[in-house]
Structure 1
Amino acid sequence: MKNLNKIIITSTFMAILLLLLSITVSVSAKSDTFKPPDNYLIDCGSSSQTTLPDRRTFSSDSTSSQYLQYHGRQINLADQSADLPLPIYKSAKVFDSKATYSFHVSKTGWHWIRLHFFPVKNKEFKLQETKFTVIAGETLVLLHEYTPKGIEIREYLTNVTTPNLNIMFSGEKDSPAFVNAIEVVSAPDMVITEHIDALFPVGKKIDGITKFSFQKMYRLNVGGAVIGPGNDTLGRNWDSDQKFLKPQSAAKNISIAPNVVTYLEGGSPLIAPPTVYASAVEMGTSDTIAPNFNVTWQFDLDHSYPYLIRLHFCDIVSKSLNELYFNVYVGGKIAISALDLSTVTNGLSVAYYKDLFVEPSMVSSPFLIQVGPLNEPMGTKNAILNGVEILRVNNSVNSLDGEFGADGRSATGPSRGTVAAVGFAMMFGAFAGLGAMAVKWQKRPQDWQKKNSFSSWLLPLHAGDASFLASTKTSLGSKKSAFHSSTMGLGRYLSFAELQEATKIWDSNSVIGVGGFGNVYLGVLEDGTKVAVKRGNPQSEQGIHEFQTELQMLSKLRHRHLVSLIGYCDENAEMILVYEYMEHGPMRDHLYGKGLPVISWKQRLEICIGAARGLHYLHTGAATAIIHRDVKSTNILLDESFVAKMADFGLSKDVGMGEAHVSTAVKGSFGYLDPEYFRKQQLTDKSDVYSFGVVLLEVLCARPAIDPALPREQVNLAEWAMKWKRKGLLDKIIDPNLVGRINPESMDKFVEAAEKCLSNYGVDRPTMGDVLWNLEYALQLQDQEKTEEGSNGTGSTLENDAPLAPAVDNRPVTTPSQNPAEVQVIEDHSGTAMFAHPANLNGR
């Protein structure tokens, strides 16, 4: 009897527990509801209200002036027995002149606009041939010269900031405009966030997303059936993904009960209903011994626009945690590396989504979204996807359809009104130019090539912009050209013949660097001096500008920790600068990637101190402050004694007297860019300080600032290292070659300097003078440890000044994709550094 009572009590307890669990799951999956403050549903042209099968009621606009000032023409389907999916397509409102619907907005913010079209057949209008434009607000072009071909729903999402939302219909020429139904419905703030990740380059953040408008291109319930507005949390349509799978045999549908799906804290069914996450596609042959393929969906996208891609995931295939790891590819690039859903969500059957911003240059045809397994022994060889949304983003003239804005401006050139005039002017100018060229060709002097030399290339259009190149009365191509001035510090003049001999007639084996300007060659002058010869490329406008900048800077800079200019050549239309040769090349080569002997911690500190002194001089020692603008480990060069010198001043900027910043377009290298400079486009000396903070982490961790091959959370060194710093575990990710060789106090002071450099706001960052002081103090602490251990008679020290063994590549192990071409590593060399070790470098 007692046993029976125990069984009854246990069974009752289990039943209650299961009931509570089901209630909890249900609440977590469905607790978020949204009642839209604005919910306008209009059945255009209907004489009475219309109720749809999903119980939504559409009001009539036939008699009320609430929405329309001009009522247009009301038409109805001639054949009322026609098989239509919804009754709202049985009528339409036709406008033979401009007409505007106006909707009062009770709460500003995100709003859906859904326009329903079906070219109803009637005797008076040929709606199948009409062309019309639709504009929302004052400037947002929704449709341009649009002709509906059948039943079509166009859905948009826009951030309304005014008390009224107007939607204007305008026929092209003599064509009427029409619409069958309109929806204007509020959407919750969470539907689109302010900041999202860019697909490429990895680590870039896209800000100000709420300023954009969007058009839904695709919304798929992957692995599941169609979901109508009545079954969605925000009245959306979700289509099946079957026709987009290529090939379908690579995929297999899987599903669970929707009430099992839960959401992360901060997540919501408003992003996507549980039904979406309860179905998925997995690899069709995931149970084979070694599956080695991607599941692929193909889409047609117009590459004139950016896109927001939203991917939905929910691990409904695993039996336990940490079983499923897979890669996600978007547009042929790796979007998420080694995605471990159970770690991200800390559970199974938990909803998760990822937004990515895709620039027009990244949009291919066809556009692919793929998932594929990791080539790793761990986990299950499988990959899944639960949902896809692709939203078009408005272009530069605020249009979601066509290249012209509401004011006639073009996204790619002049307005429509000026196209014809510009075309005629271009044709007339071309003929006139050809005639002038013919005359000049007959009259050109025999020494024209010499006169069209380096000096004249560098002169801007306005002479006042190049006062530093004030020429003498002699020919610009002569040895007494504008550059021959002792006050300018440009050094000796070197003839083209001398430099040809020094570089073995520009031998390709002498190339030690490649950049946007051209090549850098290792040369040996007649007296045996080794030099780095930078030869400009006449076809590179970017190179000419950077040459100008570097010439301006180096003509007034002389410092032990700045690379020096030895001389120049401006013969035969050439632009060539000659620098001192830096025997040991870029600092980065001695940290990772080249297999060179490891440099000790003390050497690293001395190199950082030298670079900091060079930057400190730029900021404070010259007549006006100079911002380097491209501080990175490849622009810190080492001479034969490992003395560090800053190089590559092609992007540098002067700061005028009394000015705190320079307003300029963002340039530099990803991974090193100051986020405040990126946001405001205001360059300050603290921008160099931020970049130098990234360099300090490179020195400590011996890995690149950006490494796209790593899992996304590790791609950006600054973000990744600072996360470990906040955990107090930064010592876990430092260069293994330094373990046990650093005085902890020295490391703490070094890391403190790096962390302050990486503050989000420039005002919170130290000056380069402060950074220099902290690095010198870190060196003292290291030397003190060495001295103390030596005085203790231990016979060993933490520091060994002799080179260590070849460097160990200590970057975290990554998994290559199935197609190596899908992972593109960013090469962050600018190529303008004068270094000893040849490398395959790309220009900026």
Structure 2
Amino acid sequence: MAGGFTSAVVIHSHSSLLLFLPLFLLLLLLFSPSNATSITSLFSPPVNYLIDCGSSTQTLLQDGRTFRSDRDSSSLLSTDEDIQTSVDSINLNASSSVPPTSLPLFNSARIFTDESTYTFYISKMGRLWVRLYFFPLPHPSYNLTQAVFTVQTDRFVLLHDFSITDNTSFVFKEYLLNVSDSRFSLKFLPKKKSLAFINGIEVVTAPDPLILDTAISVFPPGNFHGIFNYALQVCYRVNVGGPPMAPNRDPLLRSWETDASYNVFPQGSQNVSVSTKIIKYPQNGEVTPLIAPSSVYSSAMVMKDPKVNQPNFNLSWRMNADQSFSYLIRLHFCDIVSQNLSQLYFNVYLNEMMGAASLDLSSETKALATAFYQDFVLNSSAITNGSILVQVGPANLQQGIPNAILNGFEVIKMSNMANSLDGFFSVDGKYKGPNANTLALKVAAAIGLGFSMTAMFLVAVICFRWRQRPHGWESKDSFSSWLLPIQSTHPGSLCSALSKSSSRRSSIFGSRKSRSGYSGYLTPTGIGRFFPFDELRKATNNFVEKAVIGVGGFGKVYLGTLEDGTKVAIKRGNPSSEQGINEFRTEIDMLSKLRHRHLVSLMGFCDENSEMILVYEYMANGPFRSHLYGSNLPPLSWKQRLEICIGSARGLHYLHTGAAQSIIHRDVKTTNILLDENLVAKVADFGLSKANPEKTHVSTAVKGSFGYLDPQYFRSQQLTEKSDVYSFGVVLMEVLCARPVLDPTLPREQVNLADWALQQHRRGMLYKIIDPRIADTIACGSLNKFVEAAEKCLEDNGADRPTMGDVLWNLEYALQLQEAVSKIDTNEDTTANSIALEQANESGEKGDHSGTQATEESDVTDVDSMMLSQIAHFEGR
């Protein structure tokens, strides 16, 4: 559902339904699930106002409800005007989320040019559904697409400066408001020199148990109390794994949409369903069909088997959200996949934070196929990228079924400090958001202090440089060229700050907000140069498609040429990218702290004109993978491959041990190892990286790439440096065999390269899957040491894996062995070497059998003295 609007939700019956109640109940029994907890009585709302605004007659909907004309309910409407408009019929827009049953409500509208109020008399206090229908119908004197207006109650602002410029789609808004007075008012306030309009209104009692006063707080963790005090707006109501549901399939006449447009990774999920007849509701009455119908609980999404031994990702759904508000998130569960109790354990994550750990539906419901729901509150401070990410994933593969399930979810916005659901203006028109004056004073004070400290430091540096000035300094034509080095490696260096133009000050101090909603929070200090958007557009010839050299989850990568002739790689964020500003920020935060020959350097960034762009040094030879398979590039020699692996290992070893705090890359793969013009390897793409200050583990939702993902990380959701080590082990096998790490076109046991290579090695048949273009050039000792390193990296238990420093040592040793053999016998027949290679592999695992020992000894004995003198000089220890 585009734009964050929920499907139309309707809950009540015809005003004269009591006359037909026996017949209705008979039909209900015929078509409802036949179980003990089926609907046994119809919820009859004490308050039930259904208004077709601007209509001259009452309107009967297909679901049996009758909407009265607001002309017949004139006592409800206080206005000095009588402006209506109507049409004979409206065609449903294909993209509209409003069910066809509600279409007649959009045939007419009431128009206001001044403040007007509907007043409803409330016979029962408590929660009310308030549903509003909008569609800008044509009118000879008023253009409703130019209407700008506010809708509010006596206490809450529902819409502020609201407008609908699109006259092809219907708009539906649904609210839940707690009312404690005998009268409830709904006010329409046109903006000055504008107008307001409304097509339909529902004000109906909601069942008391529908929304509880407490929920689980995700951040900060704990319990959240006081939901009754908030106004709520239903943004999404989704039937996960099932079809969309029309209102007549819900006991409260609600509408549910399918999850297809929100499923982030449909390839890793599959839908399951059972008959609604087997769905049960708990005997304690905490969950009833009023919470969600059995049709929601009878379908679900579960983990999909990719026909490989590699674990799956978490099931994930992403929805747009306003990061100025907190959200109540209701998740619906029903175990329709287990054969016995206590087989299904899974974790629940909201925006990558733990919501529920090792959730066991059996302990909650005491039975299978039994409805259960859980409410969570996600604080506004936890919504940093304009979206809400709901994830479920297995808690522990060694306990129960390695699976996870979700049957449905609802995302509900909560009112803010201004008692508003749209902005920070209260019902009296006053701004009650974050204190802008206080914030401005704090910023001004910080700026003043910063300039003072900078001036003092600058004077001191100038005086020092004056005394230490070299001969010929007068020829320098740039102040910064002798004051401080331009490319300082110290984050937050003065020269970096001085090199920024004043036109970007608003971005530096966070006062600007771009049109796309990305805030200009980025300080340019320590992250290289700020690139104006026009300069990058010129460098890429207006981002022409011919300049594209790569495409990733963040967006496209372009080859650009700056005015001085420098070639750069320009990664331009896609506004619809799921990765978005979080990974933009992560990439900058990480690379601003890192400097290493084997890490790709960030030259600068651009965050103007709603753009998120990162500028890197250009790596002329592209991704490592392109040189292994899938392209027409000439194959790399074994020595070249070893050198690239060593360079990559050095970069990762630096991340783990050499940076200010340990950093876990989390997405090590051959496409993230780039090669410069000299085939020097550099690790790239830090969008998923995580800092690990305690050097233990980081608890986080599973992310990474299929085929490279650490199985222990997947099971425990605990990320460690050894997760990178596992991924690097997969890279080593990919380098040796020159084939994709996952290839579903192959027989099942061969699909996963890491598993297949280990199996072949243990059978003594690894030589059969080595890249044939280099197989006969590899020295046996070098091969054994390389495979030994890869095998240790791929240990299932992270504690059994080596550190990146140990891996680096073994790879350098393998290179020395290869070079030593080449020096001793440069004219050796490659055919003989190939035979020796085959014999070595046939001898079995790790060189433990006699055949391999003899072969390796013949390689190593002649070079022992040479090797001992060189090992002490290995880099990266």
- TM-score normalised per structure 1: 0.47
- Bigger RCO (CA 8 Å, 6+ sep): 1
TM-score normalized with structure 2 length = 0.45
